[in-house]
Amino acid sequence: MAIATINPATGEVLKTYDPMSPDQIQAAIGRSQEAFLALRRTSFADRAGWMRAAADLLDAERDEIARTMTTEMGKTYAAAKAEVTKCATCCRFYADNAEKYLADEPADASAVGASKAYARYQPLGPVLAVMPWNFPLWQVIRFAAPALMAGNTGLLKHASNVPQTALYLDDLFARAGFPHAAFQTLLIGSDAVESVLSDPRVRAATLTGSEGAGRSIAAIAGRELKKTVLELGGSDPFVVMPSADIAKAAQVAATSRCLNNGQSCISAKRFIVHADVYDEFAAAFVAAMGGQTLGDPMAEGTDIGPLATSQGREDVMELVADAVDKGATVLVGGAAPDRPGWWYPATVVADITPEMRMFGEEVFGPVAGLYRAASIDEALEIANATDFGLGSNAWTTDAAEQEAFVTELDAGQVFVNGMVTSYPHLPFGGVRLSGYGRELSAHGIREFCNLKTVWVG
């Protein structure tokens, strides 16, 4: 894929970039290693000061970088600004909490014949981050903030369609005071990832992206025996039971499905509704989806901008066409407008059967699948019937049902009576084909650390 900014609202190529040469990549890895040797000896207080300065830069430059994101991948300007603010919050969160999360863990010294025994978290070194375009700032910051606070350095291979956001990130942390090259962007295609990850100076990798990219990174890392964290796709269930506030559930369902123009890994994608409230929910949900405004992502009042890439829209259209060909019903939306840019409206598809691709595959656009369940057992069966396991939503006020969903949903997170969202305070990640490892919270910062056992006689 060419490294280029192409405005998805118009299809216009705005800027193209040459990928870095193998020599330039080698030099960047060398700088990352040197920066690590400096960074690992700095104090938490120093790093926290620089991380807070990065947060201040993000706040000060919010509108400008938000505009860049909207131009590169089509999210609404309002959503882009909120994303920048969330990034600043995450930087401050790790500035405040890193030292506590990585404090020495005392052990019972007498039980192991020592005068002192404890475990210490130490940084690993340069970590490669392969990142997607859908939250082009947030996905990177949620890796970079904890990694840098732990004392690791970062090498970013960003998605090829967001190079200007990638270059903004290249010097953000240096401008905030971190040692030169503590965080760098490598302008490279995915074909160059293997050479970076195989380099002995690169100690680990994190990837947020598709299942295919996950398998590829994991295979290289397996051969090289390097630690990885994989945040992959999702097809989150959103189960609605009779006791729920149906009007609220329908509204949140539409918001979740259309978030980021429908291109979020943790968007609810499959809406599984108990038969007793199916008609009521379906009517409210279809109305809420039909009310989503598709339009200029820079304009106030737009809910859905264009999809990020031409291929992405093709994929969405193929999945809907496959379902319709096999007997599904489109309740609203379902047809792409005939104009330049990669537009696709909020869409609800009902009568989905297991033969349809939508049943098991992730739809990365504002398309909801609606399912009817006769009981909680059937709802759980449908909810767990994909190979993904990222987020999940359950709507019920019945305590026993809540407990059943918390226990039985096969996913990395379950949100009851609310929308799945990521917070710096809570672990984030998936199971099965949604990947492994955790980001955010104390767990995220410990992923790229050597937990060193210390025994003193």
Contact residues toward ligand NAP (CB under 6 A) are 1, 130-134, 139, 157-160, 189-190, 193, 208-210, 213, 216-217, 231-234, 265, 362, 364, 390, 430, 434
- To ligand NAP, the closest distance from the beta carbon of 306 in angstroms equals 15
- To ligand NAP, the closest distance from the beta carbon of 210 in angstroms equals 3
CA 56 to chain centre: 23
Compare residues 269 and 372 and give the one whose CB is closer to ligand NAP: 269
Compare residues 157 and 203 and give the one whose CB is closer to ligand NAP: 157
- To ligand NAP, the closest distance from the beta carbon of 278 in angstroms equals 27
- To ligand NAP, the closest distance from the beta carbon of 457 in angstroms equals 45
Alpha helices in 199-260 (DSSP H): 211-224, 246-258
Do 388 and 430 form a contact (C-beta atoms < 8 A)? yes
Q: What number of CA atoms fall less than 13 Å from residue 411's CA on the CB side?
A: 29
Compare residues 191 and 338 and give the one whose CB is closer to ligand NAP: 191
β pairing state of 367-373 and 268-274: parallel
Enumerate the active-site residues: 231, 265
Compare residues 50 and 271 and give the one whose CB is closer to ligand NAP: 271
Which candidate, 229, 189, 231, places its Cα nearest to that of 210?
A: 231
Which candidate, 446, 399, 332, places its Cα nearest to that of 104?
A: 446
- To ligand NAP, the closest distance from the beta carbon of 233 in angstroms equals 3
Angle at 427 between CA 227 and CA 139, to 5 degrees: 70
Cα separation of 52 and 456, whole Å?
Answer: 36
Cα separation of 180 and 178, whole Å?
Answer: 6
Q: Could you give the dihedral angle defined by the CA atoms of residues 73, 7, 56 and 104, in that order, rounded to the nearest 10 degrees?
A: 30
Compare residues 362 and 401 and give the one whose CB is closer to ligand NAP: 362
- To ligand NAP, the closest distance from the beta carbon of 421 in angstroms equals 12
Contacts for 67 with CB less than 8 Å, ≥ 6 apart: 77, 80, 298
Do 257 and 269 form a contact (C-beta atoms < 8 A)? yes
- To ligand NAP, the closest distance from the beta carbon of 211 in angstroms equals 7
Q: Which residue is nearest to ligand NAP (CB)?
A: 209
Q: Could you report how far apart the first and last alpha carbons of the chain are, in Å? A: 57
Which candidate, 277, 236, 234, 232, places its Cα nearest to that of 253?
A: 236
Q: Could you give the dihedral angle defined by the CA atoms of residues 414, 417, 419 and 421, in that order, rounded to the nearest 10 degrees?
A: -50
Compare residues 163 and 179 and give the one whose CB is closer to ligand NAP: 163
Compare residues 392 and 434 and give the one whose CB is closer to ligand NAP: 434
